[in-house]
Amino acid sequence: MVTKLEKVDVVVVGTGWAGGVVSAELAKAGYKVVALERGKNQTRDDYIGVKDELRYTNRYEMMQNLSSETITSRNNLDEVALPVRTRKEMMAGNDLGGGSVHWAGASYRWKPYDFEIRSKTIERYGKAKIPEGMTIQDWGITYDEMEKYYDRWEKTAGISGEPDPLGPDRSSDYPNPPMKESPPIKLFKEGAKKLGLHPFQVPAGNLSQGYTNPDGEVMNACMYCAFCTQYGCDFGAKSDPLVTVLPTAQKTGNFEARVGSYVRRVLYKNGKATGVLYVNTLTGEEFEQPADVVVLAAFTFTNNRLLLLSGIGKPYDPKTRKGVIGRNYNGQFGITFLGARGYFEDKKFNYYAGAGALGGAVGDYAGDNFDHTNVDFINGGGIEMRQYGKGAIASNHVPSGTPGWGADYKKKSLHYTYRSLVVWYTSANMAWWHNYVDLDPTYKDDYGDPLLRITFKYTDQDRNIAKFGIEKSREILEAMGADIIDEDQVPEEFDHVYDGGHYAGGVIMGTDPSTSAVNNYLQMWDAENIFVVGAANFPQFAGHHPTETVGALAYRAAEGIEKYLKEGGPLVARKEVSTHV
Amino acid sequence: MADNPNDLHEHKGMSRRTFMKNTGLVAGGVVGGGLIGGLLTNQLQQKPEVQTATDNGQIQDARVFFSRGQDFDILAAATERIYPKDDSGPGAIELGVPYFIDKQLSTEWGVNAKEYMKGPFAVYTTNTGNHNITKDQNKQGPNAETQVPAPTPRYQTKMTRSEIFVTGLRELDNVAQKEFGASFVKITGEQQDEVLRMFEDGKVELKGIGSKNFFNMLLQTTLEGAYADPVYGGNKNMMGWKMKEYPGPRASYAAQIEVEEFVKLDQQSLRNYQGH
């Protein structure tokens, strides 16, 4: 028995940055908005007094309960995918505010190059620079067009930062000054300068001072308590949807967030969505929520899975290399974020203190900021040294060659607790014809629906850029005066660990309906009243953290949805061009 | 509870020696099994030496997961080899690590309540698995998780963590019997290390788990027990944090974040932090 509810203007699936921004903007414009969240309600009160490393960092309190649903994973097309069963290996944010509550806060704008990577690579290096099978493409939107949305999101979130000296043009400064410069950050910046690089403070969603955003939401200054990444903030000092866009939406009286609502299908008839079907996870009751516009703003995995389960859009088939849903799965995981760890004998840092995005960065090896003529990869990444602040369980690093347990290990791990720092390269996985998502033929969720299956393997591009990043990280640690430097090793193959949250693609944006699922307003080519918002839109990843680009895209989508609600029809004309796959 | 390291030696909890003495007796008493063994255990637990220390939380030190005392004794001995008592401070037993693990195994984590446990289950017979290694815990660099050679089997067994622990601990004992002709708790420390290394290197066949996976789980939970908040039964009297100079949860480190020198602070636990 499905209970049919009263129709609303917009139903939004997911309540993270993507769903939160869209909900706030449309509710402010006077539209009735219902947001569906599969997890439970959560507020700042849930984080007061619970700074507990075991519970949050080691037992994944804020992550999706996988008992009903996870993903399956394999490297190659001819393999049987197996489920990723534990929360240690599969961390997707859950509950009101989504993964945007436990995030660290690193907020980078992506570069003009990133949005037009294919054209700009061909223009500077020629077509042969792009290897056969690498399916990178332009986004169908430029940085100049994105700038105002970046600017808007930074102001909503109260980002604290200073401009990257090598970064793109900005229409205004960050709304708040950068965070404090701790001794490890100072050391990193000095080391980078010795090498002629251009360091700056990581732009942070952890606030450097008290701030009121344009919607009137108030945030506090960060206390550097270190319970940040994988935690909610007890002080309202980390910018997240719970302290910004969700209360903004709530205040209008036009918005309702319905928790415990697990969406199973987008209902679709005659080329348009009519609403969504969802289950109340506590009672098992089924509901139909009709709406004029359906917005999928869940995590990358859920956005892809819901379209595939609902039969909307043509699924990507790697054998023919045709179809769009599931195409260009990409991200920033596994072989990315490699670098080196330096041990400093005569230093002892106050590393029990920190914040999610507290750190130093350099952009000299990001994007196309350096000449790629003589390197065997394209794209690049930021280099970072972060002071997350660490709990006692997490800070047991010892130099390689030390036994991993026993008397010597204990002694060395105590000695080095506050004496090591990591420098890493935030490169990204590009898009390839063989990396994609579809539905698993075997494994199912509690309702009998197939799990999402991920097929992903590394390429020489990934391994080459990783080696480059490790080398650059090492050089900086040497300049910082580290006594011992342990380099990361480059893995041969992807290990099916999904712990970083930077997973993207599958519902990508573009100008050509044969190679993209949504236009540059994130409106589906195949269903004019479905908008899909989030990292699933990235045709490929850039070498910086993704959240700010998701936030900016959400403002772009909100503008498009409002336009659609007023005018109807496709917002961008279809332009079929020959595919370049 | 002062910061003076000498206090560690005055600590009224079970020292390793006392512990081994007691558990040895218990194990001996249980050989006959049944009611008599049970009674003997009760009597031993009423020894004043154990019960007087309730002010330090020892009243919570009792098994709630392991039904067999022998399994728990093997666990205790193994954790002490992994994290031994030395001149920097207490080892796993004095920190309460075995009780920490015992309690953890009956939580939602121990019974895999929030993991995907639907079949079909792929069974690995080889020992290439490494699914319990933690990047933050590894000895070689920040991203050691990715250093595992491919292909990396993930957690694919039908067994829960608590079942893995019981199976693994009993196999530690079997290997000790086979290699050294005595129970794991009776062989020398060096011999115990050899047995543990066989598991660490994946040389012991542990069907559906992989001995390496079991070892990594044992290693990780031992460190968790040494350094998690004392509310979970380990890190007794915050002695793990004291050795590490880790201050515990605070509202703010804004006063320390820019200071060049290391700032040593008194330890504070969740109980203090929540204002009890």
Q: How far apart are CA B42 and CA B44, in angstroms?
A: 5
Contacts of A475 by beta carbon, 8 Å cutoff, 6+ apart: A195
CA A542 vs CA A330, A432, A517, B9, B258: distances in Å: 10, 15, 19, 55, 32
| Cβ-contact A301, A505 below 8 angstroms | no
Q: Which of A281, A449, A422, A527 is nearest to B142 (CA)?
A: A422
8-state DSSP, B275? T
Q: Please report the pLDDT score of residue B86 as a whole number.
A: 98
Q: Is the model's pLDDT at B33 over the cut of 50?
A: no
B206 touching chain A per CB within 8 A = no
Q: How far apart are CA B94 and CA B76, in angstroms?
A: 10
Residue spans of the domains in chain B: they are: 56-244, 247-276
Confidence of residue A153 (pLDDT cuts 50, 70, 90): very high
Contact A392 B227 (CB under 8 A): yes
Contact B253 A352 (CB under 8 A): yes
Confidence of residue A132 (pLDDT cuts 50, 70, 90): very high
Confidence of residue B124 (pLDDT cuts 50, 70, 90): low
B52, burial (CB in 10 Å: exposed 0-12, middle 13-18, buried 19+): exposed
Q: How far apart are CA B114 and CA B137, in angstroms?
A: 23
Compute how many other C-beta atoms are within 10 angstroms of the C-beta atom of residue A346: 7
Q: Is the model's pLDDT at B135 over the cut of 90?
A: no
B48 touching chain A per CB within 8 A = no
Q: Please report the pLDDT score of residue A577 as a whole number.
A: 63
- Set of chain B residues whose Cβ sits within 8 Å of the Cβ of A184: none
Q: Please report the pLDDT score of residue A520 as a whole number.
A: 97
- Set of chain B residues whose Cβ sits within 8 Å of the Cβ of A222: 254
A67 touching chain B per CB within 8 A = yes
Phi and psi, residue B72, nearest 5°: -65, -40
8-state DSSP, A544? S
Compute how many other C-beta atoms are within 10 angstroms of the C-beta atom of residue B167: 17
Indicate whether A173 belongs to any domain.
yes
Q: Is the model's pLDDT at B20 over the cut of 50?
A: no
- Set of chain A residues whose Cβ sits within 8 Å of the Cβ of B141: 340-341, 400, 486-489
Q: Is the model's pLDDT at B175 over the cut of 50?
A: yes
| Cβ-contact A488, A468 below 8 angstroms | no
| Cβ-contact A526, A271 below 8 angstroms | yes
Query: Which of A49, A442, A488 is the closest to B273 by Cβ?
Result: A49
Q: Please report the pLDDT score of residue A576 as a whole number.
A: 66
Confidence of residue B205 (pLDDT cuts 50, 70, 90): confident
Q: Is the model's pLDDT at A481 over the cut of 90?
A: yes
pLDDT digits (tens, 9 = 90+) for A89-129: 999 999 999 999 999 999 999 999 999 999 999 999 999 99
Written in H, E and C, the secondary structure of A405-466 is CCHHHHHHHHHCCCCEEEEEEECCECCECCCEEEEEEEEECCCCCEEEEEECCCCHHHHHHH
pLDDT digits (tens, 9 = 90+) for A502-533: 999 999 999 999 999 999 999 999 999 999 99
Contact B115 A398 (CB under 8 A): no
Give me the DSSP letters along A142-180.
Answer: -HHHHHHHHHHHHHHHT-B----TTS---SS--SBPPPP
Indicate whether A574 belongs to any domain.
no
Confidence of residue B154 (pLDDT cuts 50, 70, 90): confident
**Domain tally for chain A?**
1
Query: Which of A70, A183, A398 is the closest to B116 by Cβ?
Result: A70
Q: How far apart are CA B274 and CA A49, in angstroms?
A: 5
Q: How far apart are CA B192 and CA A64, in angstroms?
A: 39
Q: Which of A284, A268, A280 is nearest to A526 (CA)?
A: A268
Q: Please state the rounded mean pLDDT for residues B242-261.
A: 97
Q: How far apart are CA A164 and CA A203, in angstroms?
A: 9
Contacts of A276 by beta carbon, 8 Å cutoff, 6+ apart: A11, A13, A36, A263, A265, A266, A267, A288, A289, A291, A294
pLDDT digits (tens, 9 = 90+) for A3-34: 999 999 999 999 999 999 999 999 999 999 99
8-state DSSP, A225? B
Q: Please state the rounded mean pLDDT for residues A557-573.
A: 97
- Set of chain A residues whose Cβ sits within 8 Å of the Cβ of B263: 350
**What is chain B's mean pLDDT, rounded?**
77
- Residue A306: which region, alpha, beta or left (left: phi > 0; alpha: psi -120 to 50)? alpha
What's the distance, CA A151 to chain centroid? 18
| Cβ-contact A154, A552 below 8 angstroms | no
Query: Which of A403, A405, A486 is the closest to B141 by Cβ?
Result: A486
Q: Please state the rounded mean pLDDT for residues B220-235.
A: 97
- Set of chain A residues whose Cβ sits within 8 Å of the Cβ of B81: 405-406
For residue B231, give the chain A residue with the closest CA.
A52
Token look-up 């910046």 returns: A189
For residue B224, give the chain A residue with the closest CA.
A393
Phi and psi, residue A34, nearest 5°: -115, 125
Residues 348-377 of A with CB under 8 A from B: 348-350, 352-354, 358
| Cβ-contact B215, B169 below 8 angstroms | no
Q: Please state the rounded mean pLDDT for residues A490-505.
A: 92
Q: Could you tell me the residue range of the domain that residue A526 belongs to?
A: 2-567
Query: Which of B146, B247, B251 is the closest to A352 by Cβ?
Result: B247
Q: What is the CATH number of the domain that holds A29?
A: 3.50.50.60
SS3 of residue B169 by DSSP: helix
Q: How far apart are CA A93 and CA A483, in angstroms?
A: 38
| Cβ-contact A357, A205 below 8 angstroms | yes
For residue A341, give the chain B residue with the closest CA.
B141
| Cβ-contact B168, A381 below 8 angstroms | no
Confidence of residue B56 (pLDDT cuts 50, 70, 90): low
The CA-based angle B230-B232-B237, given to 5 degrees, is: 20
Query: Which of A65, A83, A424 is the closest to B142 by Cβ?
Result: A424
Indicate whether A576 belongs to any domain.
no
Percentage of residues in chain A with pLDDT exceeding 90?
Answer: 97
Q: Please report the pLDDT score of residue A29 as a whole number.
A: 98
CA distance A559 to chain B (A): 38
pLDDT digits (tens, 9 = 90+) for A198-222: 999 999 999 999 999 999 999 999 9
Percentage of residues in chain B with pLDDT exceeding 90?
Answer: 60
Rg from Cα positions in chain B: 20
Compute how many other C-beta atoms are within 10 angstroms of the C-beta atom of residue A290: 16
Least confident of A133-147, A432-446, B56-70: B56-70
Q: Please report the pLDDT score of residue B207 as a whole number.
A: 77
Q: How far apart are CA A256 and CA A397, in angstroms?
A: 46
B116: its two tokens: 């995907």
Q: Please state the rounded mean pLDDT for residues A373-384.
A: 98
- Set of chain B residues whose Cβ sits within 8 Å of the Cβ of A88: 131-132, 134, 155
Residue count of chain B, please give it.
276
**What is chain A's mean pLDDT, rounded?**
97
Q: Is the model's pLDDT at A227 over the cut of 60?
A: yes
Q: How far apart are CA B76 and CA B19, in angstroms?
A: 9
Q: Please state the rounded mean pLDDT for residues A422-447.
A: 97
| Higher-pLDDT residue of A499, B133 | A499
What is the set of active-site residues of A?
502
| Higher-pLDDT residue of B79, B47 | B79
Q: How far apart are CA A481 and CA A419, in angstroms?
A: 12
Indicate whether A575 belongs to any domain.
no
Q: Is the model's pLDDT at B26 over the cut of 90?
A: no
CA distance B156 to chain A (A): 7
